[in-house]
């Protein structure tokens, strides 16, 4: 773009939307957030008031019709993602869209086609790629510091399960939770997965099983280049948000540990201990949320490719489907079987 | 105060001044930075432009005369601190002043008297008290987690020495660098030091010795309550900014380690390693700078006592003088000898 | 037994045999090693000379015929294990036998039946169960410290692959290397595995693949109680012997890290580092070898059950077969399919 | 010497004597322990019986008169050290003597002169020099890995104070406990101390103060080469035996941490924790006791200089005296003032 700052509009002023709004207003100098909309007008108003934004409302069309706005940030509910992407693309707006794009591959493909036709930039909100710790791991792979990767191991456990109502609409653990780990595996290894084997059950809360979902799962990923990945998921780790990765290769191994609120270590009478890791994803990943949005703004301003493209958003959905089928049929499933 | 937000003016738009300005504008919702001045008008202008501040100039009097401004943040050179404190107090402004207040106890005392007469709040910029790691250590002392403290150990080493020109005007290592550690020791133990023994030399750069200063020092602090503190200082740690503390007590010990840019650990052919600690004080202590200013704003708004009072600013200057005399006379020196 | 010390004979004076001999002579007060035999008489002689043993020779029958000897330690080549177990049992000797018992289930079953008939104690050499680190992990499961286990993760990597000649006779990675991890998984979880999925390839050395074996593998274990285990194997970790485990459960997680030659941490110019972990299995596991033999001696003297029974030796062989079949057929394989 | 094995006699079969005896009998192949004596004959008998030694008794003269014995190991009470050294030297025996040699410099000097006249090898039992962790630190100094040393910091805290009866006869904390740290400081830095400043009090148990001793102390060491050392001592660390050192130099820093019974780390609901460090000095330092005796045996057999010479035993006694005087006179004391 020929300007040095980017005008944006935000669609969806929920928890994540408000976080992005704050970053756009206060932490990213090149960004100007002009307006916010939400189907819940009160939410849009609150967000605008808190940040001193002049414009807010219930209808996202206003953003798309505003010629001053270059890009939109879509943080509304998942079922609205593809129609909003298509509408924004048609309006010539660049698009940042939260993950997942959708749970239906046909809808995803239509949306990605619309983006391609319009020639706008689309970035999907896989924020963890921007976490400094995982970035360091990726860098060790790219630079050859750990040699040719052989194995990648991802531990991804939430502090506690979401409400059952949320679970029922979530599309299942693989689409809702593991999807981040599918993206992380692709990001760290820099290659594509061909086959997936998954196993799991509802061990934390039987009601999750009654709802047709799992809360504890292990997934094996076979990459085209021979790397094998393993993912350990659980909806409940009592010690907090457990987010670790390890890449093992021909020249060494690199591990990213959890993040802690402080570095203090106590030598006490019965143990040597520290405070548990950061417990809340918005605190744990605050840096990654800021960086992904900064990079989106910069990509648009500089006309560079999106750091997390439309296909990067589609493939983990396919992986989630393959994992689900692997559970149902108790066999390794090739991604090519999915579509 | 009866308002819910605080209007501030900034005096001194150097490196630290600009950091405080950014925090006041973008990270502390209750603060409104109205104006910035600097004897170097260009610096004031740049700072104002970058943050979109309406008012800037070369003369701090404008801030003091502006009835809308409740408080000033003094980040100008050390020799201007006491006159500015006195003027601001006379104008009824609350005051945040960078450390050290001054190197002359008489001037400090006059300034503190002016503050007392005016009844304004004065906070000295000992930011490290607000670092989450050292806070956790202090909390372990307050809560009794480590029992009655016996010993405190502070490691405080800079990545590299400042320019010789700076050294010559710095007042010496104890007033310039160790002063933070003197404050930290008082903060962690929660008691007063009675006697100081110091030893040191110029080992990093003989020119520092030629300038009459030390670059490497060890200081022993005897507290009134029997605790003994040790400080290890050096102007150069090749591995980065080395900032650790340990408090040992009757029920255990607590150590705060350095802060690292990421949590990644590499298992390589010849060693297991991680990246060195954060190297730059403004990065290492960014959180503490933000928190000290937030607490200043809140203290003024709520009429609470300053978390780092005028006497908290004066005592470490006395300690620096005692340490200096201990070096010269090679004997333990009581603070009562200083004044 | 009614005596307070145990007389033993050693069969097989190779590397491991000599280690056991030294422990029996010098570190286990209740043990008396009376004689050593090896088909290579010179090896038996060397071992006896070094330890001051009065009796040595090429024929193990001498040990079995010696009425003073209560127990034998079998460290000869794997193909001799079952005939030696049967002969020792027939002679009424208690038996410590190195792992694996055999690669043929029929032979194993005949040997275990001979042991049962004779009523002697048989302990299989799964030494890692006696490692203080893994013991601590098992204790955390038994005591409920980590709650109900959900997932167990085992990293088991050798510093470098054995010679190809060894590989060709090894029975394959699962029988030769992973067998320790199969035992570890059963030990840590305290339950049986029902189904195994494995994937792997020859990434370290293609010649290993040409020999029909793998050098890098991932194995998933489904336990009867719903726990899921994952094993990461590789024949080459350039940083040393990589032996870690983690058990994650409803009340927490416990990780056992590698063992290091010293605790020193260097803060250097470009990294913070320590020396790599212990590199050689006899150094890494020396404590576990000592403890397993001590417990064998104690079990015999006190008439207690073997801490690693015959079935404990058989089941990992079945697991290795299931893993192998899973590789061949690319599907999860139930242990019940094996026999 | 012209033989390949060394015949030794042990004087004093207390706790430490028995440990050395076991190492000589079972862990050091070149050593043959022929006899043990103790003024308490029963102790000598028990020790001999446990290790199968043929000869024992109450009178050390038997050892000195036995021409087969090349060297003696003196583990009797401190007041017997110098007469035994003189007698052994006169008998032409090489000598390993536990620390401290004595608390009287005149007696030490006479003993060292006797050793010099006889031309025998004398090694003092400063075992910590042989600990693999501290060795690694020393190696980093020798090799230049941390550059030119600037500061050394030693933390040395016991799990709990000895009985008051022991305290009363101990010669005071500096001679009894800090003496190890004085030796460690000299060993790590590889230079001599010129001046000492000490401060301390009885904080753990006032009765220790009533007995004229301290239980908590800080010592500053000024080395001839400009290095400054600090020692933190306490008779009671509730979390176990706290033995850490750090050497900071122009090219980096190296820290040796405590030693733990296992590597397991638990992630629990309220903290991340591990078991406390090894608590008992004979367990913590077992490796160093074995290595010091191995090196003594090798030094004698190979006619090499003692790794811990007589002067190495004398100097820390002088340092303890200087520290004591510093406490009494509250000033830095030069070693040259002592004698």
DSSP string, D204-229: S-HHHHHTT--SEEEEEEEETTS-EE
SS3 B50: helix
> Does A258 reach chain C within 8 Å, measured CB to CB?
no
Closest CB from D133, D145, D263 relative to C259: D263
First vs last Cα of chain C: how many Å apart?
36
Does the distance separating the beta carbons of C277 and B239 come in below 8 Å? no
Which pLDDT does position A28 carry in this prediction?
A: 96
Phi and psi at residue C225, to the nearest 5°: -90, 10
Query: What Rg do the C-alpha atoms of chain C give, in angstroms?
Result: 20
CB A157 within 8 A of CB A233: yes
- Residue A178 CA to residue A327 CA, distance in Å, equals 14
Residue C56 pLDDT greater than 70, yes or no: yes
Residue C66 pLDDT greater than 80, yes or no: yes
Task: Record the tokens describing residue D105, joined without a space.
Answer: 């410099």
Which residues in chain B land under pLDDT 50?
none
- Residue D117 CA to residue D110 CA, distance in Å, equals 10
Does the distance separating the beta carbons of B267 and C242 come in below 8 Å? yes
- Residue D288 CA to residue D127 CA, distance in Å, equals 5
Say which residue the tokens 């808190």 belong to. Answer: A50
Interval D117-143 mean pLDDT: 98
Closest CB from B232, B239, B250 relative to D151: B232
- List, for residues D226-276, the tens digit of each pLDDT value: 999 999 999 999 999 999 999 999 999 999 999 999 999 999 999 999 999
CB B216 within 8 A of CB B156: no
- List, for residues C114-140, the tens digit of each pLDDT value: 999 999 999 999 999 999 999 999 999
For chain D, the chains sharing at least 3 beta-carbon pairs closer than 8 angstroms are: A, B, C
Question: Which residues fall within 8 angstroms of residue D269, CB to CB, at 6 or more apart?
Answer: A238, A239, A276, C251, C252
> Does C238 reach chain B within 8 Å, measured CB to CB?
yes
Say which residue the tokens 């102390």 belong to. Answer: D217
> Does B275 reach chain C within 8 Å, measured CB to CB?
yes
> Does C5 reach chain D within 8 Å, measured CB to CB?
no
> Does A264 reach chain B within 8 Å, measured CB to CB?
yes
Which pLDDT does position C234 carry in this prediction?
A: 98
CA distance A201 to chain D (A): 23
- List, for residues A293-333, the tens digit of each pLDDT value: 999 999 999 999 999 999 999 999 999 999 999 999 999 99
Say which residue the tokens 């040790």 belong to. Answer: B230
Question: Which residue of A271, A275, A277, A278 to mutate against D (max D Cβ within 10 Å)?
Answer: A271
Q: Exposed e or buried b for every residue in D285-309, given b needs 16+ CB within 10 A?
A: bbbbbbbbbbbbbebbbeeeebbbb
Question: Which residue of D32, D266, D270 to mutate against C (max C Cβ within 10 Å)?
Answer: D266
ipTM score for this prediction: 0.96
Residue D152 pLDDT greater than 90, yes or no: yes
**D244 contacts in A (CB within 8 Å)?**
none
- Summary mean pLDDT of chain D: 96
CB D284 within 8 A of CB D261: no
Closest CB from A261, A263, A267 relative to B252: A267
First vs last Cα of chain A: how many Å apart?
36
What strand order describes the sheet that includes D122-124?
A: D55-57, D31-37, D6-11, D71-74, D94-97, D122-124
pTM of the predicted protein model: 0.96
Does the distance separating the beta carbons of D274 and A276 come in below 8 Å? no
CB D139 within 8 A of CB D146: no
- Residue C62 CA to residue C52 CA, distance in Å, equals 18
Does the distance separating the beta carbons of B272 and C239 come in below 8 Å? yes
Question: Which residue of D260, D273, D278 to mutate against A (max A Cβ within 10 Å)?
Answer: D273
Closest CB from B199, B232, B250 relative to D222: B199
Which pLDDT does position D54 carry in this prediction?
A: 87
Phi and psi at residue B37, to the nearest 5°: -130, 155
**C239 contacts in A (CB within 8 Å)?**
252-253
CA distance C285 to chain A (A): 22
Cβ burial, residue B30 (10 Å; 0-12/13-18/19+): middle
- Residue B304 CA to residue B302 CA, distance in Å, equals 5
CB D240 within 8 A of CB B253: no
Which pLDDT does position A281 carry in this prediction?
A: 86
Which pLDDT does position D266 carry in this prediction?
A: 98
- Residue D46 CA to residue D13 CA, distance in Å, equals 9
C-to-D residue pairs, Cβ atoms closer than 8 angstroms: 84
- List, for residues D182-207, the tens digit of each pLDDT value: 999 999 999 999 999 999 999 999 99
Largest Cα–Cα separation, chain B: 66
> Does B257 reach chain C within 8 Å, measured CB to CB?
no
> Does D220 reach chain B within 8 Å, measured CB to CB?
yes
SS3 B185: helix
Query: What Rg do the C-alpha atoms of chain D give, in angstroms?
Result: 20
Does the distance separating the beta carbons of D237 and A268 come in below 8 Å? no
- Which chain D residue lies closest to C26 (C-alpha atoms)? D26
CB A64 within 8 A of CB A88: yes
Give the per-residue SS3 of A203-230: CCCHHHHHCCCCCEEEEEEEECCCCEEE
Which pLDDT does position B207 carry in this prediction?
A: 97
- Residue D87 CA to residue D91 CA, distance in Å, equals 6
Residue C286 pLDDT greater than 80, yes or no: yes
> Does B102 reach chain C within 8 Å, measured CB to CB?
no
CB C120 within 8 A of CB C88: yes
- Residue D102 CA to residue D83 CA, distance in Å, equals 10
CA distance B178 to chain A (A): 22
Question: Which residue of C203, C222, C237, C247 to mutate against A (max A Cβ within 10 Å)?
Answer: C203
- List, for residues C90-107, the tens digit of each pLDDT value: 999 999 999 999 999 999
Largest Cα–Cα separation, chain D: 66
- Which chain B residue lies closest to D204 (C-alpha atoms)? B250
- Summary mean pLDDT of chain C: 96
Closest CB from C218, C226, C237 relative to A230: C218
Give the per-residue SS3 of B221-239: EEECCCCEEEEEEECCCCC
Give the count of alpha carbons within 13 A of A257, CB side only.
15
- The structural domains of chain D, ordered by start, are 6-120 (3.40.50.720), 129-279+316-337 (3.30.360.10)
Phi and psi at residue D228, to the nearest 5°: -120, 130
CA distance A293 to chain C (A): 30
Say which residue the tokens 């010690």 belong to. Answer: A239
**B271 contacts in C (CB within 8 Å)?**
271, 273-276
> Does D252 reach chain B within 8 Å, measured CB to CB?
yes
CB C239 within 8 A of CB C209: no
> Does B136 reach chain A within 8 Å, measured CB to CB?
yes
Which residues in chain A land under pLDDT 70?
1-2
Planar angle of CA C308, C313, C316, nearest 5 degrees? 120
Does the distance separating the beta carbons of A242 and D268 come in below 8 Å? no
Helices (H), chain B: 15-22, 41-51, 61-65, 81-90, 105-118, 132-142, 164-169, 173, 179-189, 206-210, 281-284, 286-302, 310-329
Question: Which residues fall within 8 angstroms of residue D116, CB to CB, at 6 or more apart?
Answer: D310
C291 — pLDDT class (breaks 50, 70, 90): very high
- Which chain B residue lies closest to C263 (C-alpha atoms)? B272
- Residue A262 CA to residue B243 CA, distance in Å, equals 13
Residue D339 pLDDT greater than 80, yes or no: no
C171 — pLDDT class (breaks 50, 70, 90): very high
Which pLDDT does position A1 carry in this prediction?
A: 65
Does the distance separating the beta carbons of D277 and A270 come in below 8 Å? no
Given its phi and psi angles, is residue C326 left (phi above 0), alpha (psi -120 to 50 degrees) or beta?
A: alpha
Cβ burial, residue A312 (10 Å; 0-12/13-18/19+): buried
Task: Record the tokens describing residue B20, joined without a space.
Answer: 């405080």
SS3 B240: coil
Orientation angle between helical segments B105-118 and B310-329, nearest 10 degrees: 170
Say which residue the tokens 């490796």 belong to. Answer: D287
> Does C252 reach chain D within 8 Å, measured CB to CB?
yes
B-to-D residue pairs, Cβ atoms closer than 8 angstroms: 93
Does the distance separating the beta carbons of B234 and D220 come in below 8 Å? no
- List, for residues A310-321, the tens digit of each pLDDT value: 999 999 999 999
Phi and psi at residue D334, to the nearest 5°: -80, 140
SS3 C166: helix
Residue D298 pLDDT greater than 90, yes or no: yes
D2 — pLDDT class (breaks 50, 70, 90): low
Which pLDDT does position D1 carry in this prediction?
A: 65
**C237 contacts in B (CB within 8 Å)?**
267
Given its phi and psi angles, is residue B12 left (phi above 0), alpha (psi -120 to 50 degrees) or beta?
A: left
Does the distance separating the beta carbons of A268 and D272 come in below 8 Å? no
> Does B109 reach chain A within 8 Å, measured CB to CB?
no
Question: Which residue of C232, C255, C273 to mutate against B (max B Cβ within 10 Å)?
Answer: C273
Share of chain B above pLDDT 70, in %: 99
Does the distance separating the beta carbons of A236 and C242 come in below 8 Å? no
> Does D298 reach chain B within 8 Å, measured CB to CB?
no
Does the distance separating the beta carbons of A269 and B252 come in below 8 Å? yes
> Does A283 reach chain B within 8 Å, measured CB to CB?
no
Closest CB from A254, A261, A262 relative to B266: A254
Least confident of B213-217, B303-307, C52-56, C249-253: C52-56
Beta strands in chain D (DSSP E): 6-11, 31-37, 55-57, 71-74, 94-97, 122-124, 149-157, 193-201, 216-223, 228-234, 242-249, 252-256, 264-267, 272-274, 333-334
Task: Record the tokens describing residue A1, joined without a space.
Answer: 């773009």
Closest CB from A199, A216, A252 relative to C220: A199
Does the distance separating the beta carbons of B269 and C239 come in below 8 Å? yes
Which pLDDT does position C339 carry in this prediction?
A: 72
């Amino acid at each position: 773009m020929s300007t040095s700052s980017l005008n944006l509009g935000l669609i969806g002023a929920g928890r994540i939307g408000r976080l992005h709004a704050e970053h756009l207003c206060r932490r990213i100098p090149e960004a100007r957030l002009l307006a916010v909309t939400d189907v819940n007008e009160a939410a849009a108003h609150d967000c605008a008031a808190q940040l001193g934004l002049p414009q807010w409302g219930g209808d996202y069309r206003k953003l798309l019709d505003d010629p001053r706005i270059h890009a939109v940030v879509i943080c509304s509910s998942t079922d609205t993602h593809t129609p909003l992407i298509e509408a924004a693309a048609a309006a010539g707006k660049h698009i940042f869209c939260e993950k997942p794009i959708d749970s239906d591959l046909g809808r995803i493909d239509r949306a990605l086609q619309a983006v391609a036709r319009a020639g706008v930039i689309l970035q999907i909100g896989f924020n963890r790629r921007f976490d400094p710790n995982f970035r360091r791991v990726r860098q060790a792979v790219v630079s050859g510091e750990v040699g040719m990767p052989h194995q990648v191991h991802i531990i991804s456990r939430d502090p506690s399960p979401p409400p059952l109502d949320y679970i029922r609409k979530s599309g299942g653990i693989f689409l809702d939770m593991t999807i981040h780990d599918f993206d992380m595996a692709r990001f760290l290894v820099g290659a594509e997965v061909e086959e997936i084997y998954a196993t799991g059950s509802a061990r934390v809360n039987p009601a999750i099983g009654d709802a047709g979902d799992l809360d504890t799962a292990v997934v094996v990923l076979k990459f085209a280049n021979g790397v094998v990945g393993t993912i350990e998921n659980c909806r409940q780790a009592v010690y907090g948000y457990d987010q670790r990765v390890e890449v093992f290769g021909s020249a060494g191994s690199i591990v990213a540990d959890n993040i802690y609120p402080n570095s203090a270590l106590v030598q006490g009478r019965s143990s040597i201990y520290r405070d548990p890791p950061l417990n809340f994803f918005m605190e744990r990943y605050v840096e990654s949320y800021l960086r992904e949005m900064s990079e989106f703004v910069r990509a648009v301003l500089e006309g560079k490719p999106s750091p997390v493209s439309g296909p990067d958003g589609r493939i983990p959905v396919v992986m989630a489907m393959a994992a689900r089928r692997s559970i149902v049929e108790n066999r390794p499933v090739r991604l090519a079987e999915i579509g």
